[in-house]
Amino acid sequence: MRDNWYMPETPKAEDMLGIPISNFFSGVKAEADIYIRLSETKFILLFHMGSLIDMKQVKKYAEYNIKELYVIKTAYNKMLSKQVSVAGMIIDSKEVPALKKVSIINRVADGVYNAFSKKGFEEEAFENAKNISESVVNLVNAKPDLAKLMESLNGIDDEIFKHSMAVSFMAPMLAKKLEWNRPDTLQKISLGGLLHDIGKRELDPKILKKQRSDLTYEEMCDYETHPFRGMEILSSMNSVPQDVIAIVYEHHENSIGQGFPRRLWDVKMHPMARVVALTNVFCELIFGSINHPEPVSMKEALHHIETVMGQPFNKQAFQALKELVEESNEGA
């Protein structure tokens, strides 16, 4: 009773609709009044319609383990009519129910979040990357052509799928460290990370099971076509943003012109691809891969990139990665 008297405007629970927290981003205008739920019946208005969302404010209510934010149902319909954009791709109102679908992609994502949670990254960096990654997973679930593409990758080799998800999670964390703050930029980097190896679905699975040092010359040439093939697959789908396609095409390039397929130099590389190229190698090292079967610690991975590989990646991106590791439990 006291609550009602104290906050006479608290809306009724049956009028409210929960939306997963991953659909909200700091710095984006609230398209409706947004509430937080503190108990069965108690909602607090957090952001007025038109004000800027600040996810740090949501964190103040950590003890309530908030997974969803709430809007009044009638306002939600209005929000839907405006459509949602993730990574510059529009999800229209008809596709939105698919956001709740539990797919194989969600399951792999949960495994990857769990693996990263053990790495001891600074909490805000981790949570932010998780929010970005979840929004991209939602996008893929809502777009049947993308979902089918990802699932086909899982059919070939579930390690590639897990690795792709890991890059999708880690790359926006690195980008945020570089102070790239726009949600659509971070989402594109995450989506590029998720799709970067999609061209591998066209390779002979035998090639994918061999270490690169064991490939014949012809097999190596074939292997090195996968960024180009990925670019072609995504270009044929008219909705994928150009930035994402560039990430896929350039994820094996490096800053010293010794990558493939085009041997680009740093200045010629797409800025988002510089981040994903480094993240790709880092994730192979810390989680293990065909070429590095034994996973190593994050510090050892940095050391490997510096001493064994001669740090061929973008300098700022590598510095940001070092700082992320230093700020993690492992660096402490």
- What minimum distance in Å lies between the beta carbon of 285 and Fe ion? 12
Q: Sign of torsion, CA 290 292 297 300?
A: negative
- What minimum distance in Å lies between the beta carbon of 279 and Fe ion? 9
Residue 254 vs 280, nearer CB to Fe ion: 280
For 13, 78, 186, 243, the CA distances from 88, given in Å and listed in that order, are 33, 20, 11, 10
Residue 134 vs 197, nearer CB to Fe ion: 197
Residue 187 vs 280, nearer CB to Fe ion: 280
- What minimum distance in Å lies between the beta carbon of 226 and Fe ion? 6
269's tokens: 């590389």
C-alpha 240/C-alpha 145 separation (Å) is 11
- What minimum distance in Å lies between the beta carbon of 312 and Fe ion? 15
C-alpha 288/C-alpha 219 separation (Å) is 22
Residue 76 vs 260, nearer CB to Fe ion: 260
Residue 35 vs 161, nearer CB to Fe ion: 161
C-alpha 240/C-alpha 194 separation (Å) is 13
Residue 126 vs 260, nearer CB to Fe ion: 260
Residues lying near Fe ion in the complex (CB under 5 A) are found at: 197, 280
- What minimum distance in Å lies between the beta carbon of 244 and Fe ion? 15
249's tokens: 């095409």
- What minimum distance in Å lies between the beta carbon of 186 and Fe ion? 19
Q: Are 244 and 87 spatial neighbours (Cβ–Cβ below 8 Å)? A: yes
Question: Which residues face 265 on adjacent strands?
Answer: 256
- What minimum distance in Å lies between the beta carbon of 171 and Fe ion? 11
C-alpha 25/C-alpha 45 separation (Å) is 17
- What minimum distance in Å lies between the beta carbon of 42 and Fe ion? 46
Residue 228 vs 265, nearer CB to Fe ion: 228
Residue whose C-alpha is closest to residue 194's, from 174, 172, 170, 167: 167
Residue 183 vs 259, nearer CB to Fe ion: 259
